[in-house]
Amino acid sequence: MAFADSLNELMKVSQTLMDQIDSVPIHGLPGRTVNPIPFDMADTPDALLVQAYLPGFHREDVTVEVRDHRLAIKAERRLPRRDDLTWLHVEAPYGTFIRTIGLSSDVDSEHIGAGWREGVLTLRLPKAQEARPRQIPIQQVTQFALDSE
């Protein structure tokens, strides 16, 4: 069991390191980061709640995937192309953006809910039944198994 605990701890440290690397600014591109999709996440007893902020993106250009304790949000925005238009200066971010988020709990991926409103992606990731906290009922007994007779 100690090996499994050590392996789990190593995976958590590795995930934390990857999350930190994901937010390091790219040199030469002012104001740009590897993962420019900001998000908020909250934990409830039965679900994780996530809001990702994607102003200027269209709902149909955003995809969400959960796999191996990781949430991946991918969004794509293309620079408009027209024959009668020559761009002189572009600061708005265009291209493909991916944000991965490590999840601390097992998620019931069959029942994930996603909503979109005004550039905000809201996700409800229900925890798998075995990952939810549960209360253990305490029963009255006359003698406990460890009591001496």
pTM of the full predicted structure?
0.65
Please state, in angstroms and as integers, the Cα–Cα distance from residue 56 to each residue in 45, 77, 96, following that order.
33, 8, 13
Predicted confidence (pLDDT) per residue in 86-115, tens digit: 989 888 888 899 999 988 778 888 899 999
Q: Which domains does the chain have, with CATH numbers?
A: 35-131 (2.60.40.790)
Extended strands (E) in the chain? 39-43, 47-53, 62-67, 70-77, 95-102, 113-117, 120-126
Tokens of 57: 């993106």
Nearest to 21 by CA among 94, 75, 74, 100: 100
Averaged over 32-41, what is the pLDDT?
A: 74
* 129 — pLDDT class (breaks 50, 70, 90): confident
